[in-house]
Amino acid sequence: MFLLYSNACGLHNPETEILSGKPVPYLESPERMKRIISHLLKDDRTKGWTWIDVDSDDMRHNVMLPNISEAISRVHDAGYVEYLEHAYKSWVEDGGSKAGVVPETFPHPSLLSTASQETTRSKTLSPLAKAGLYCFDLSCPITANTFESAIAAVRVALCAASHLISIETHPKTTARPPTGAFALTRPPGHHAGSAVCGGYCFFNNAAITARYLQSEMSREGKNEECKVAILDIDYHHGNGTQEIFYEDPSVFYVSLHAQGDYPYLTGATEEIGRGPGAGFNVNIPLPQHTTGNKEYLVAMKQAATKIEEFVPQWLIVSLGVDTYKDDPICNFQLTSECYVDIGREIGRLGLPTLFAMEGGYCLDALGTNVAGVLSGFEAGTPE
């Protein structure tokens, strides 16, 4: 198992967010990353795993590292990326709070019913107006260091993918199980759409990685059609990932999530994809409050079967552990033991797998639960 991280991922550090109408301390804090690293370093199950700091001199001087801007452009709208890069500076210069960019107006369909598209996407819009165009909630304050952290998260994910490619495409002299890599991505990504942030997410790390894998395989002539599966096990539905691949039959997206919870308007079983992508989007919503280990593992087996039927070359796991019973903002009842079983189920698929960190906000159990999934994956991988 490879574990990749960047200290720059901790620079994004808003003071507050609005949750259920109240200002609260920002839950998706840098402390999450610190807790995960601290636990993985001392957990006996992780001995022998390889740690990689993507900011190290060796990594920075590696000419084979992915082109981050090019990779992002395969997924995200150019205007959105430009906005994220300059949003904070423009906001402050226009008199906005130095605490961060937070929208005060959202482009509701009724508001836009008589507005011209040229006006709503005009570069002359004020920073206050643009904030609502490119964000769908109040959990994504853009601070002075947000863009740097978001870029660092993408770099971590792409470096993890690059390592998987170098190992999996190298001639095998002896039989060995498929490789696993854990990208400690922060900010997370699965709520970020092609041109919008929300739910703590700015760039969709999993989606960018999927497109990177496909691009590299095409460039090397390894696969006529590189098929990637994305398994999303965060408590919340990955609306951004679903939107990005909704019409694409080459990326299979399956999500296990809470029914009727955030982001509230997506994640129904009827959402199966569109056009050529029809049938390649699977949502498995589970009831809040009553979903425990047994119920979740049944759904996991269902998701695994769907992935096997797709026959992908690569698997990306959007790894959220906010399904834990004591998570402060979620309502499932999973225990720490269940995460080992989840990892085993993923490992049994026998695919080269990249885990990209998403949610999980119970700090005391965060590292334990992440280690459980990763160690379970190694235990479940076929020899």
Catalytically active residues, by annotation: 191
List, in sequence order, every beta strand (DSSP E) within 200-299: 228-232, 251-258, 281-286
Q: Quick check: 193 and 143 in contact, CB under 8 A?
A: no
How many whole angstroms separate alpha carbon 266 and alpha carbon 248?
A: 18
Q: Residue 198, exposed/middle/buried by CB under 10 A (0-12, 13-18, 19+)?
A: buried
Q: Is 318 helix (H, G, I), strand (E, B) or coil?
A: strand
List of residues 6+ apart from 117 with CB closer than 8 A: none
Measured between alpha carbons, how far is residue 209 from residues 15, 58, 165, 182, 356 in Å? 29, 22, 12, 13, 9
How many whole angstroms separate alpha carbon 278 and alpha carbon 268?
A: 14
- Phi and psi (nearest 5°) for 256? -105, 125
DSSP category for residue 44: G
